[in-house]
Structure 1
Amino acid sequence: MTSAPEIKAVPDTIADAFDGFMGAFEAFKDANDRRLSEIERKLTADVITTEKVDRINKAIDEQKKVIDQFVIRKARPALGRGEANSFEAMEHKAAFEAYIRRGDEAGLREVESKAFSTGAAADGGYLVPNETDTEIGRRLSVVSPIRSLATVRQVSGHVLKKPFALAGLTTGWVAETGARTETTTPALAELSFETMELYAMPAATQGLLDDAAVDIESWIASEVDIAFAEQEGIAFVSGNGTSKPKGFLAYTNVANASWSWGNIGYIATGSAGAFGSSAPCDVLIDAAYALKAGHRQNATYVMNRTTQGAIRKFKDADGNYLWQPPGTPGQPASLMGFPVTEAEDMPDITANAYAIAVGDFRAGYLVVDRTGVRILRDPYSAKPYVLFYTTKRVGGGVQNFEAIKLIKFAAS
């Protein structure tokens, strides 16, 4: 009898964490195989075996979280690289630090005046130096899973308007001397993506700001990035489009057989709040193959950890597990050969929930960033703390409605 894996509470390296993750998965397969064998022999699984499977399943998720944390830390770029070494960037950085630490606006006014910036000091705040702005963006791409899958566009205005061809030119075969009839003009739809204001307001004591050893820019980025990523993650999945991006679950969802442009197609599991009782994994295959070939080859499954834990127990007809762990740290797990992205903002498996999405999110979902992150220093509202009202403008929405499919946990 295989014992549950011993998991080191705080692994020293990402290699240690990955070894623990793979060990937990091997133990999970042994325990789950025993559970399935008991069901075949006795029509029910032993309670102890079931509890062990669930416990190891949770241990796998915990180990994956640890690996993700190592990957995020590794992905964070060092400040002061590239154009940050130019005279203009160094001047901006010095002026920005003076503003953050002491509220001295003169330097930033001069810098932004030279750059013909439209940023107003008192009301609009000041632009964060480029290296800090870049770091926040990079961290978001790691922490916010939908952002990392989607297409990201930078805009200088409030709205991005995107034309989309619903159909191509009409063509036809014709004899060498036959009459050529005029073909129809391709139909175009215009999609509009408005950027909404996302804010965070970290606070610091004056003592912290006076400490020359503190890297102020790094501190602001570390305070803001997680807060922004959490809000983005929710909005890109289920945001209603009012003062926030519109998530792909917020659009009208229709049975895939009745799909039309402007809607998201879904495949039902055949059972409310559960996978189908017979061949439960078929719906996963059906959803992936509801995508056109061009989108299917770039498809990714999106679900939360709880849903992934349920799918981890599925096998194919040959007894192979459908869910497979990543080959190396930092790579996604796979489901029937397609990568799996964990998005904790996806709903759990409940009646009528759209708990799984699959699609080519690069083609299907668009994230719009307005260039620049702004900070307004407020030393008055929360004395003795200094508040830093940090804002950026972000929009998002579905740009190709045939590139994303959903799985609905319902009878139909």
Structure 2
Amino acid sequence: MEIEPMDTLTAAPETKTVPETMTAAFDDFMEAFEAFKETNDRRFGEIEQKLTADVVTRDKLERINKAMDEHKRTLDHLALKKARPALSRGADSLEAAEHKQAFSAYIRRGDEAGLRELEGKAMSVGSAADGGYLVPDETDAEIGRRLSIASPIRALATVRQVSAAVLKKPFSTSGMAAGWVAETAARPQTGNVQLAELSFPTMELYAMPAATASLLDDAAVDVESWIASEVDIVFSEQEGTAFVSGDGINKPKGLLSYTAVADGTWSWGNIGYIATGAAGAFKAAGPSDTLIDAIYALKAGHRQNASFVMNRKTQGEIRKFKDADGNYLWRPPAGPGQQAQLMGFPLVEAEDMPDVAANSLSIAFGDFRAGYLVVDRTGVRVLRDPYSAKPYVLFYTTKRVGGGVQNFEAIKLVRFAAS
């Protein structure tokens, strides 16, 4: 039997890299999309010939549609893994290295001496022992990046870092008045600019992961990475829900919690919507007309930066739409890690958006960078608690985050209602 050379044996496992895996997953996704188009075209043909689609064809189309959702979820998961950099990147300075070492001692053994010494050097009064300690910069930055990927609204919105509890932002609701005048005519005083003050309080978001003493004593365990991996999932889930439907009480105010009015009667402080013309569904004739109306309800300056936001079930319905020339309005991603397109605009999946139902606001379209603001108070804090749940050590991890609509004309909604 021929024995493989040692360098071949060691190199083989490295050939399956993340980009190759993403490419394979993307190929599977595109193969499913081709099967979807073929089956959907057959369904349209059956409707034209027999005024109804065959049950087998409909069932097959739904199975392929679900399979596409699974492939897309796999792609997003692989993109998330690829985007997560190693937490231990090396200290940028001696101070950062000392902070990292002192924080590790606090997490593993509850040794506060190193952190107290660092605070004394910095003359800090904002992180006393009973309030927890700020995590090192590496851990704080890592949690922030993961949230940007896992929470789609955060990734689309403007994010501001603040040091206070509330961010107050003045906003001009009307421009400066001007007018034409004759050469020698009197110049009357023009109207003043109208300003509105928007307030974005930061609310406390917390997680309390637990660890055994054995885990903390194991020098091979990257404790900072463990905290980040435990916290990022629960934080991103809570944030994602709050940015969409939060009521503003002890949490950010979501874009669907503001008063929605018909776009023809829109006023500042409300979000305009376009009705589909049918309760709990798209209208039977020209269903895509509603999407076109939503697109052109935005001003051109916001439209050029706009995205569609909906959940995967709503996206599954829209995948079936065609234009007058028989072209699908939904286009698959151009490559691994990229967004699908709907009528030329990026389509972002947000599972917290509601399913299609009577009077539901299931689709949002807008320039979320201009329209929605996420406010992060600087620092993620960790308080070590070895007493409350012995033999486990609890890590009370908190951050403060707020959010809300900052420009009410930059976002439009689609309402599944007759009017």
**Given the two structures, how large is their TM-score scaled by the length of structure 2?**
0.94
Separation in 2, partners of 1:280, 1:67 = 29
Separation in 1, partners of 2:133, 2:196 = 37
1:12 Cα deviation after fit: 6.5
Is 1:129–2:136 an aligned residue pair?
yes
Q: Is the CA contact 1:346–1:356 (under 8 Å) kept in the aligned structure 2?
A: yes
Deviations 1:70-124 (A, max 9, x none): 1111111222447x33100000000000000000011111112222333343321
Q: Which residue of 1 aligns with 2:230?
A: 223
Separation in 2, partners of 1:223, 1:58 = 29
For structure 2, the residue ranges without an aligned partner over 5 or more in a row are 1-17
Distance 1:129 1:11, change over 3 A: closer
Q: Which residue of 2 aligns with 1:303?
A: 310
Q: Is the CA contact 1:119–1:127 (under 8 Å) kept in the aligned structure 2?
A: no
Aligned pairs for 1:223-302 (under 5 A) are 223-302=230-309
Aligned pairs for 1:5-24 (under 5 A) are 13-24=21-32
Separation in 2, partners of 1:168, 1:114 = 49
Q: Which residue of 1 aligns with 2:68?
A: 60
Distance 1:331 1:12, change over 3 A: closer
Q: Is the CA contact 1:119–1:126 (under 8 Å) kept in the aligned structure 2?
A: no
SS in 2 for 1:358: strand
Q: Which residue of 1 aligns with 2:335?
A: 328
SS in 1 for 2:363: strand
Is 1:343–2:389 an aligned residue pair?
no
Separation in 2, partners of 1:22, 1:157 = 48
Separation in 2, partners of 1:333, 1:126 = 41
Q: Is the CA contact 2:133–2:382 (under 8 Å) kept in the aligned structure 1?
A: yes
Q: Is the CA contact 2:127–2:134 (under 8 Å) kept in the aligned structure 1?
A: no
Separation in 1, partners of 2:85, 2:378 = 19
Q: Which residue of 1 aligns with 2:201?
A: 194
Q: Is the CA contact 1:316–1:322 (under 8 Å) kept in the aligned structure 2?
A: yes
Is 1:175–2:186 an aligned residue pair?
no
Q: Is the CA contact 1:119–1:125 (under 8 Å) kept in the aligned structure 2?
A: no
Aligned-CA RMSD value:
1.3
Separation in 1, partners of 2:182, 2:203 = 55
Identify the match of residue 39 of structure 1 among 28, 47, 61: 47
1:11 Cα deviation after fit: 11
Deviations 1:294-346 (A, max 9, x none): 11111100000000000000000100000000101111101000100000000
Count matched residues.
Answer: 402
Separation in 2, partners of 1:225, 1:116 = 30
1:132 Cα deviation after fit: 0.4
Separation in 2, partners of 1:78, 1:183 = 58
Separation in 2, partners of 1:100, 1:288 = 51
SS in 1 for 2:403: strand
Separation in 1, partners of 2:29, 2:121 = 53
User: In the alignment, residue 32 of structure 2 is paired with which amino acid?
Assistant: A
1:50 Cα deviation after fit: 0.6
1:180 Cα deviation after fit: 1.8
User: In the alignment, residue 14 of structure 1 is paired with which amino acid?
Assistant: M
1:59 Cα deviation after fit: 0.8
Q: Is the CA contact 1:312–1:321 (under 8 Å) kept in the aligned structure 2?
A: yes
SS in 2 for 1:289: helix
User: In the alignment, residue 282 of structure 1 is paired with which amino acid?
Assistant: D
Deviations 1:120-173 (A, max 9, x none): 433210000001000000000000000000000000000000000011111112
